[in-house]
Structure 1
Amino acid sequence: MYFAFKDQRVAVNVPDLARLSAGISQAFREHRGFALATVNLDHLVKLNQDAAFLEAYLAQDMVVADGRPIVWLSRLAQRPVQLMPGSDLVTPLCHLAVQSGVTVAFVGSRQPVLELAAERLRHWVPGLEIAYIHAPAFGFDPEGEAARAILTELRDRDIGLCFVALGAPKQERFAAFGRSIAPSVGFASIGAGLDFVAEHQHRAPLWMRRLAMEWLWRMLTNPLRLAPRYAKCFAILPRQVAAALRLRHQAR
């Protein structure tokens, strides 16, 4: 499954959790870094408007589907992928890190949130080694000198997995920059994933998630910020449906 932006394509190139786990485990064994992104409709809006974000996305090694509309579009295109929100990947990736003897880092969010998330994950995932946590200052440039300093420290500390919780597009740009500065580090861009672990933010109830209504829960909890975002997401759906139907026709 892919999404076209002029002459470039962003592909959901890891279709399910089993293959994601296998790929990351192999990268850990080989001491090889990676960048993992979780594409959703908001990202598609930004990718169409932000050339730097698109360049960063094209540098990601693994892209999974974050959001049911992406999954529905993949099914419409007859190229189905599994739903894998970044917030749902935090604990499974921590288990993979323990199994591979890999140390973990957190970059993003706020320092108290990161510290509480670290405390909880150490309790949930016995043996988890979180060796570095850092909340960048407001106005952080994901490709600036402060970013370079963080990435150098990750490299020097031999971090194997870094959860990046800066929000799009900063987290994906930071991860893409990190692939050259710290090539042995695996970067997983997980948005508010650590905020959910620390319960600084709360996810929708399970029944709403099962009904694909988590977006409504989030919008109602922060309407001024999220209502305009979701309006832009809904606006691109007709074009994305048409593109998925074209892919379906090509598959035949």
Structure 2
Amino acid sequence: MRFWGDDFDVTVNVADWVALEQQISGRLRAGDGFTLATINLDHLVKLREDSRFREAYVVQDLVVADGNPIVWLSKLAGRPVDLVPGSDAILPLVRIAAAQDKTLALIGSTDKTLSKAKAYLENAVPGTRVVATIAPAMGFDPLGGSADEVLEALEASGADIAFLALGAPKQELFAAYGRQKLSHVGFVSIGAGLDFFSGAQVRAPGWVRFVAMEWLWRTALQPGRMIPRYAKCFWIFPTEMVHALKLRWIGSETKTLRHR
């Protein structure tokens, strides 16, 4: 499934949980690094505004659909993908890492949050080894000297996977930058995922997520932050629907030509 338009498209190249687990398991066994991004409507807004963000997305190895609107658009385009939220991907990836005796690093948020998230993960998944927790200082530059300092600490720790809770676009920019420097490390961009484990944020109950209303839950908890964000998302959604229909038409046309 591809999004956004003729000048720049984001390809969701990991369609479901099975494909994601196969990709991560294979890369860890081979000792190959990777970057994993989780595309959602907020990212599509930022991609329109930030050329550096677009450049970072181009080099992401793996992209999953994080958000029901992306899944709905994929179905509209006739190229369906499953919902794979970044927050929900953490524990499955931690289990894969533990099974292969791989180590983890947690990067972002605060020292307190990372400490609690580390304790949670090591308790929830036997065999988990978090060998580094790094909370970058305020004003962290994902492409500058402060990024190099974090990468040096990450390399010294020997971590195989780094979970990045830096928020978009910083986490994707840092992942792309780190991929060039530490080719053996897997960089996974997870947004607020660690905050949920530490208790710093309260995630919507399962039934709210099931009816695709997590966005409303988050808005109620953080209206000043989320209302402007979701307003921009709603604004671009009709354009994305048109683009999805174009993709569906192109796909149908291609099939017709092949059958002639």
Scaled to the shorter chain, the TM-score interval is over 0.9
Retained in 1: the 8 A contact 2:131–2:158? no
**1:215 is matched with which residue?**
215
Q: Deviations over 1:57-105 (max 9, x none)?
A: 1110000000000000000101111101111011111001011111100
**Superposed displacement of residue 4, structure 1:** 3.3
**One-letter code aligned to 2:234:** F
Secondary structure of the structure 2 residue equivalent to 1:8: coil
**One-letter code aligned to 2:60:** Q
**1:179 is matched with which residue?**
179
Retained in 1: the 8 A contact 2:117–2:194? yes
CA distance in structure 1 between the aligned counterparts of 2:143 and 2:6, rounded to whole angstroms: 25
**2:103 is matched with which residue?**
103
Gaps of 5+ in 2: 253-260
**Superposed displacement of residue 162, structure 1:** 0.3
Structure 1 residues 176 and 5, CA, compared in 2 at 3 Å: closer, same or farther? farther
User: Over the residues paired in the alignment, what is the CA RMSD in angstroms?
Assistant: 0.9
CA distance in structure 1 between the aligned counterparts of 2:173 and 2:156, rounded to whole angstroms: 21
**2:41 is matched with which residue?**
41
**Superposed displacement of residue 108, structure 1:** 0.2
**1:120 is matched with which residue?**
120
**1:25 is matched with which residue?**
25
Retained in 1: the 8 A contact 2:4–2:240? no
Aligned length: 252
**1:155 is matched with which residue?**
155
**1:80 is matched with which residue?**
80
Tell which structure's C-alpha radius of gyration is larger. Answer: 2
Q: Calculate percent identity across the aligned residue pairs.
A: 52
**Superposed displacement of residue 153, structure 1:** 2.6
**One-letter code aligned to 2:68:** R
**Superposed displacement of residue 33, structure 1:** 0.4
**Superposed displacement of residue 215, structure 1:** 0.1
Retained in 2: the 8 A contact 1:37–1:172? yes
Please, what TM-score do these two structures have when normalized by structure 1?
0.98
Please, what TM-score do these two structures have when normalized by structure 2?
0.95
